[in-house]
Amino acid sequence: MALVDIRGLTRIFDVSKPWLNRVVERRQKAFLTAVSDVSFDIAERSVYALVGESGSGKSTIGKMLVGLLPPSDGSVEIRGVDLARETDAAKVDAVRRDIQMIFQDPFASLNPRWRVRDIIAEPVAARGGETTGLAERLLEQVGLSARDAGKFPHEFSGGQRQRICIARALASEPKLIVCDEPTSALDVSVQAQVLNLMSDLKDTFGLTYLFISHDLTVVQHMADRIGVLYLGRLVEEADPEALFEDPKHPYTQMLLAAAPQLDNFGREVPPPTGEIPDPINPPTGCAFHPRCAIATSICSQKRPEMRLLRGARVACHLAE
């Protein structure tokens, strides 16, 4: 059963200069398309991973899912409720109660003036819930000591701070947690500890994750379903085994070829060519065609639709 249903999700930002500058310089308004017509489902008690290069729109989708950004077009439905358009405040509040987010930087997302006890209990205290002993119990569940509740964030290491962020996310007993690159700022050994913790908590509490990452190794072991983003567009979606053994889209193939491989030390791989185009002025047709080695004339003329191919969804005219 799908917990999250995303259809035609689009987000456009107005990045124009101030009105007077545009008049003096005779410039038109400029709009940046961060997310373009993205559709996918997240099954309950599963991990859906979004991967792609920086600037591909991963974090923007996560922020729209939790309600930090309104979509320009399309819909995000959680348990059948569209947070951006639902007029029943009680329904919206009930759904919001079940959503939390873990941010990329564990220090910037913690209030440096608050003690850990207050930080963790905040989601419950804001709704008038009982918080006695809550922080101490959650700290022990994430591998820290109950005595740490009286400390400040600066007294912890990066991995410990991320555990505090996880404890805060668990405080309100959510069903869905959006994880925005939760381990990218941590050392490799600490990454493994945090990922194992998140996996154990998912099984213990029956959680659903939207896991945003640029690390293919991480999503291969964490995800039940992987979506590959390029320039705000979903270009491929498959389960980890199918994606890593038989990637369909040329961009997915490029990402996998560029990823480090411990069992293939010393291999010679040509580096990825080109850079992500300007999202203010994206290419026509398939956004990847300026960097694609197999592109033909149709790739620059017509945007490919997502279609099923050998157990995966892929947006490529030449995926066969």
How many CB atoms lie under 10 A from the CB of residue 251?
Answer: 26
What are the structural domain ranges in the chain? 2-98+174-314
Q: Band of the pLDDT at 309, cuts 50, 70, 90? A: confident
Q: Is 3 helix (H, G, I), strand (E, B) or coil?
A: strand
Write out the CATH class of domain 2-98+174-314. Answer: alpha beta
Give the tens place of pLDDT for each residue, 171-215: 999 999 999 988 877 777 788 888 888 899 899 889 999 999 988
Closest CA relative to residue 251, chosen from 304, 297, 209: 304
pTM of the predicted model as reported, rounded to 2 decimal places: 0.90
Q: What is the pLDDT of residue 270?
A: 67
Q: In what order do the strands lie in the sheet with 208-212?
A: 99-102, 176-180, 208-212, 47-51, 225-230, 233-238, 312-314, 307-309
Mean pLDDT of 127-143: 90
